[in-house]
Amino acid sequence: MKPNPIVITAIEVYQAPIKLKKPFVISLGPLTHAGNIYVVISTNIGLTGFGECSPFMTINGESMETGFVVAQYLAKKLIGMNPLEIEKCTVAMDSVIFGNSSIKSAFDMALYDIAAQNSGVPLYRFLGGKNNKTIQTDYTVSLGDKKTMAEDAVQIKNRGFQFIKVKVGESKEKDIERIRLIRESIGPEIPLRLDANQGWNTNDAVEILNAVADCNIQLCEEPIPRWNFMELPEIREKSPIPIMADESCCDHHDAQRLIDLEACELFNIKLGKSAGIFTAIKIIELAEMAGINIQIGGFLESRLGFTASAHLALTSKNIVYFDFDTPLMLIDDPVIGGIQYLENGKIQIPETPGLGASIEPDFLKTLKKVAIKN
């Protein structure tokens, strides 16, 4: 007799507002909490998958509250489906509602967790990856006055981080002053990574990047508004610093468009933008063919979400930059297992089957919850 297929029997969705240790400020505004969502998918054979997203209102147009509502529509569609048929589950979610990439990424993550557990291997191996590279995260200097930013950069250096990310995007004059003071304060060795979060116009972007070309800058993320991507090729041509597409590169269609335009040297993949691992893999494949290197980043997920990102980071030699610092900014750490932070920002990935991370049951009991069952 043919064994009964594995099916999804229950899905629990939790709102998880987690306070930050201190406000995190970018050009799109300040943040005091991570408004996250946990998704727990149960099956008829006892396997349970965990997923997480961190909706970002100013980037993907979702919030913890809207994600919580949309999750219920998605859960009702997925109940009874085979979680190992990830493509079918992805198509099913897309048939329910357009967009909503953040909440879809939490479901995608939980599905991949189940699939890798069912295969008895860590997620990176299920995805065809190898644990053969050092993953070392940067740490981010929040946007503020130049003196405070420089002091924060010095603290980050003293904590042992080897790469420092700097939030900019306010104004040409102030950003140049910020970058130069940070470089002066930390010395010449540690590379800086700039992230303008769409804060500049084209002319200012070119002027700023040329003005700080001597400051050991590795890259600049999303210098101009995402809708203005047609001007990225001009910035790339005139900039001495490599340009990384972030908000303008959400899925594989965006990636192909940017490749065709020769708009940037680098992609930043975040599961909350790509709706999860399924589409992220498509972006990676395009990047490999085009010779484009990749950063894996995220929003304000806990170690659960970044564990999935770390597994993904082991799947391609083109993934060379890692932006995994935000779990270190959260007051609470409710994750069991998951990635571990070692010295100098190095990341250790679990070798247990599946994602290798879950959420403490007692913490889940404190959260607002909805459960969808057969």
pLDDT tens digits, residue range 218-260?
999 999 999 999 999 999 999 999 999 999 999 999 999 999 9
pLDDT at 253: 98
Cβ partners under 8 Å of residue 60, min gap 6? 99, 101, 102, 250, 272, 273
Helix (H) or strand (E) holding 119: helix 101-119
Q: What is the mean pLDDT of residues 344-369?
A: 98
Whole-angstrom Cα distance, residue 261 to residue 230? 8
Given 62, 108, 195, 231, the catalytic residue: 195
Q: Is the pLDDT of residue 1 over 60?
A: no
Q: Which residue has the higher pLDDT, 128 or 56?
A: 128
195: annotated active-site residue: yes
Residue 2: band (very low, low, confident or very high) from pLDDT cuts 50, 70, 90: low
Alpha carbon of residue 198 to chain centroid: 17
Global pTM reads 0.96
Three-class secondary structure of residue 9 per DSSP: strand
Catalytic (active site) residue 88: no
Query: Region 40-51: what's the mean pLDDT?
Result: 98
So what's the pLDDT on residue 22? Answer: 86
pLDDT per position as a tens digit, 187-205? 999 999 999 999 999 999 9
Residue 161 neighbours by CB under 8 Å, 6+ apart? 137, 138, 139, 190, 344, 345
Class for the domain spanning 8-121+359-373: alpha beta
pLDDT digits (tens, 9 = 90+) for 258-309: 999 999 999 999 999 999 999 999 999 999 999 999 999 999 999 999 999 9
For all residues of the chain together, what is the average pLDDT? 96
pLDDT of residue 17: 96
Find the catalytic residue in 167, 222, 273, 325.
167
Tokens in use for 216?
A: 């050991």
Sign of the CA dihedral with 84 first, then 88, 94, and 96 last: negative
Angstrom CA distances, 59 to 35, 56, 138, stand at 14, 5, 21
Place 25 in a pLDDT band, splitting at 50, 70 and 90: confident
- What pLDDT score was predicted for residue 257? 98
- Tell me the mean pLDDT in the region 142-155: 95
Q: How far apart are CA 122 and CA 55, in angstroms?
A: 26
The whole-number pLDDT of residue 204 equals 97
Which one of 104, 157, 165, 270 is the catalytic residue? 270
Task: Give me the DSSP letters along 210-232.
Answer: HHTTTS-EEEEE--S-GGGGGGH
165 among known catalytic residues: no
With contact defined as beta carbons under 8 Å apart, do 302 and 325 qualify? no
Place of tokens 């008829």: 44
Q: Which structure tokens are listed for 200?
A: 């500049």
How many CA atoms does the CB half-sphere of 124 hold within 13 Å? 24
- Cβ count within 10 A of residue 80: 11
Q: What is the pLDDT of residue 374?
A: 84
**239 vs 253: CA distance, rounded Å:** 25
Q: 277-290 vs 101-119: helix axis angle to the nearest 10?
A: 90
pLDDT for 186: 98
CB 175 within 8 A of CB 203: no
* Three-state DSSP state, 111: helix
CA-angle at 357, arms to 353 and 360, nearest 5°: 135
**What CATH number matches the domain at 125-353, 3.40.630.10, 3.40.50.360, 3.20.20.120, 3.40.50.1000?**
3.20.20.120
Cα dihedral 208→218→269→292 (10° resolution): 100
246 belongs to the catalytic site:
yes
Q: pLDDT tens for residues 317-340?
A: 999 999 999 999 999 999 999 999
Please report the pLDDT score of residue 30 as a whole number: 80
Domain spans in the chain, listed from the N-terminal domain onward:
8-121+359-373, 125-353
- Domain 8-121+359-373 and domain 125-353, same fold? Reply is no
Among 52, 221, 231, 325, the active-site one is 221
Catalytic site residue from 108, 152, 246, 254: 246
